[in-house]
Structure 1
Amino acid sequence: MNLLIPSYEPDIRLLKLIDQLRASGLFTIVIVDDGSGEAYSGIFREARELGCTVITHSVNRGKGYALKSGFHYFMQKGYSGGVVCADSDGQHLPQDIIKIGNSIEQYDGHIILGSRRFTGNVPLRSRFGNTATRLIYAMTTGHRIYDTQTGLRGYSFDMLSWLCSIPGDRFEYEMNLLLEAPGAGYSFHEITIDTVYLDHNESSHFRPIADSARIYAPFLKFSLTSILSALIDYLLLAVIHLFSSSLLLAVLGARLASSIFNYTMNKNFVFSKGKRSAIQSSMPKYFTLVFIIICLNYGLMYVFNERIGIPLLIAKLLTEGTLFLFSYWAQRKYVY
């Protein structure tokens, strides 16, 4: 079994983890020094003396890049067996790492996730961050994962080439991986692990604003294109109606133009996944979805406003919010 530890500016906890895992005799350990610098060279030197392989980046490239460096190393050296990825900050206990490793062969075609239950004294930003990403992931993919931010994961060896193709070099890489796994034919198996936060997670290098923006980027880009499309729709509606005095022509013309814009932006910038879906395949699916959404829009508005008695403006907001999430899920899963 192979263990991959991406590490940036570690402390003595990394060496303690290595020493505990060496006693089990189960793992070949590869550590990626992600540009920690000369001040931390002593820790990595001791790691080598403990029998670990250390890959060194001259500058910090990010967790995603470090993980892919390790995956490439395992493939180039002809290693066999599954790969467990763990963090170097003491949050993953040796017994939990071993549990993940033992589960890889039992669940073929599954990505093994060490799932925390966030009990006890958990920093607020960690509890809130995981809750937010869990809800967004479930709403936009239709799949439920309890701990979307876990760094303790297990992969079979045949997944490594695919793992290296996932976009993202920093913390967003692990979320991108979860988003693309179902489309690649991989399922998830979660194993409950202990929740460990030391010193209120002060050793974490996660940047709340910059790294959260990277993690939520697909959803944020979809939101932006939807807002721009709505603006185009409203502006063209007013302009066409001004010059033609035909409401039907204004509605159809504005919706057609805004839909073409939305399709183009989503195809090329939101759901591109590194390769472009063929127009002859994705465009019919997209406009079929547009027709379905128009029908659902009317149906939900009728139920909310006419049947339930919700005021029209609130009914409109509820309808658009529901269909926004449905549209994102449908485009990711079926259109592109």
Structure 2
Amino acid sequence: MIVLIPAYEPDQRLVDLVDGLRGAGQAVVVVDDGSGPAYAPVFQAVRDLGGTVLTHPVNRGKGAALKTGFRSTREDVVCADADGQHRVEDILRVADHVRRTGRTTLGVRRFTGPVPLRSSAGNALTRVVFAAVTGSRIQDTQTGLRGYPASELAWLLDVPGDRFEYEMRALLLATRHGHSIDQVPIATVYLEHNASSHFRPLIDSARVYAPLLRFSASSMLAGAVDAVALFAVYAATGALLPSVLAARAVSSTTNFAVNRHLVFKERTATLATSARRYWALVVTLALVNYLVLAGLTAAGLPLLPAKLATDAVLFAVSYLTQHRFVFGSPGTAPSQVAYSPARLDERVTNSS
């Protein structure tokens, strides 16, 4: 088991963390992500404590640094941050859980006490959106304390992304590929209102949310196409069933192409397999859509609000099914997410 710490322009807190981990007998690998000569004394102190330091000549991002660390070992790995937010005891707790269970493990914060608003609000929003599009409840989607069994390392190297978005993509793909995820509660620590964080709210939030936003954007596009086609055909025919079927044929074709090539880019099912599954879903949802629309309009609700209500209900069903079944590999099961109650001089120049 190693503790992997990506570090960009770290301070004494990294040295203190490595000191504590080494004192507990834990092997440590630190990746200097292009911090530059000014930070050489910090990394030398890590070496003096017995830690291994791998170096990127230039800054390449947290995801790239994690991948460099994954390539350096065949052991179980616990990833931790260099800014003092993860206590030694919490890191060791996650490491022990991975060692005992052989499962991916997240150290999840409770967000109690003095927590910066941008951190608590951002995590709450991401948690809700993540649950809506994956069906998996992750208490802390943005945690940097994550433990991985050695068997997961090759898969993690294939996850796209080199910066802060990498960790979100790893979670999204883990849920779609049926990887088991455990959650262990840890302390919520923010030092000086998280002033040492290199996370850029606008640029890096866009990177983190991009995988989630693509789900919603694709659905909105399909919904718009479906609505235009529905009203156009209904205005020409005055018949609800042909209008629903024609609109769904146009919008679903658009949605399948967008989802396959832009949303679920890391697909594992073949085109033929995903197409069969997708159209089976389309037929099922079209029938449900018609029955619900017919019932609502028969009850006196105008077509537009009936359409909006129906789409809202079917949105989650459609995306959960596509995420877990349509574009996944045959036989892939939903991920199992468990929450465990708390008890208290090597240079790397190859590209990722």
TM range (shorter): 0.7 to 0.9
Task: Say if 2:24 is the partner of 1:11.
Answer: no
CA contact (8 A) 2:234 2:243 kept: yes
Which residue number corresponds to residue 33 of structure 1? 32
Q: Note the 1:257-268 alignment, pairs <5 A.
A: 257-268=250-261
- Cα distance in 2 between the residues matched to 1:265 and 1:19: 49
Contact 1:236 1:254 in 2 (8 A): yes
Deviation at 1:170, TM superposition (A): 1.3
Q: 1:40 to 1:302 in 2, by over 3 A?
A: farther
- Residue 323 of structure 1 is aligned with which of 308, 314, 334? 314
Aligned to 1:189: 182
The one-letter code matched in structure 2 to 1:164 is L
- Displacement of 1:66 in angstroms is 0.7
Partner residue, 2:280:
288
Could you tell me which residue of structure 1 aligns to residue 113 of structure 2? 120
**Could you say which residue in structure 1 is the equivalent of 2:124?**
131
Q: CA deviation at 1:47?
A: 1.3
Partner of residue 94, structure 1: 88
Aligned to 1:163: 156
Deviation at 1:231, TM superposition (A): 3.8
CA–CA distance in structure 2, aligned partners of residues 238 and 190 of structure 1? 47
Are the structure 2 counterparts of residues 128 and 333 from structure 1 closer, same or farther at C-alpha, using a change threshold of 3 Å? same
Q: How far off its partner does 1:67 sit?
A: 0.4
Aligned in 2, Cα 1:250/1:185: closer, same or farther, shift over 3 Å? closer
Bigger drift between 195-204 and 245-254 goes to: 245-254
Unmatched 5+ stretches in structure 1: none
CA deviation after TM superposition for structure 1 residue 240, in Å? 6.4
Output the CA distance in 1 between the equivalents of 2:123 and 2:260: 28
What per-residue deviation string (whole Å, max 9, x for no partner) do you get for residues 251-301 of structure 1? 54443222212111111111121x563222111211121122223334445
TM-score (norm 1): 0.88
- Aligned-partner SS, 1:54: strand
Query: SS of 2:184's equivalent?
Result: strand
User: Are the structure 2 counterparts of residues 28 and 260 from structure 1 closer, same or farther at C-alpha, using a change threshold of 3 Å?
Assistant: same
Counting matched residue pairs gives 326
Which amino acid is 2:150 matched to? F
Unaligned runs of 5+ in 2: 328-352
Structure 1 SS opposite 2:72: helix
Structure-2 change in CA distance of 1:113 and 1:245 (3 Å): closer
**Aligned-residue identity in percent:** 49
* Counterpart in the other structure of 1:55: 54
Bigger Cα displacement from structure 2, 248-257 vs 57-66: 248-257
How far apart are residue 105 of structure 1 and its match?
2.0
- Letter of the structure 2 residue corresponding to residue 94 of structure 1: V
SS at match of 1:186: coil
Residues 281-324 of structure 1 deviation map (CA, whole Å, 9 limit, x = unaligned): 111211121122223334445676777x9876555433322322
Report whether the alignment pairs 1:206 with 2:205. no
Q: TM-score, normalised by structure 2?
A: 0.84
Query: Superposed, which structure 2 residues align to 1:234-313 within 5 Å?
Result: 234-236=227-229, 252-273=245-266, 275=267, 277-301=269-293, 313=304
How large is the RMSD of aligned CA atoms in angstroms? 2.5
**C-alpha displacement of 1:92:** 0.3
Corresponding residue to 1:151 among 123, 144, 153: 144
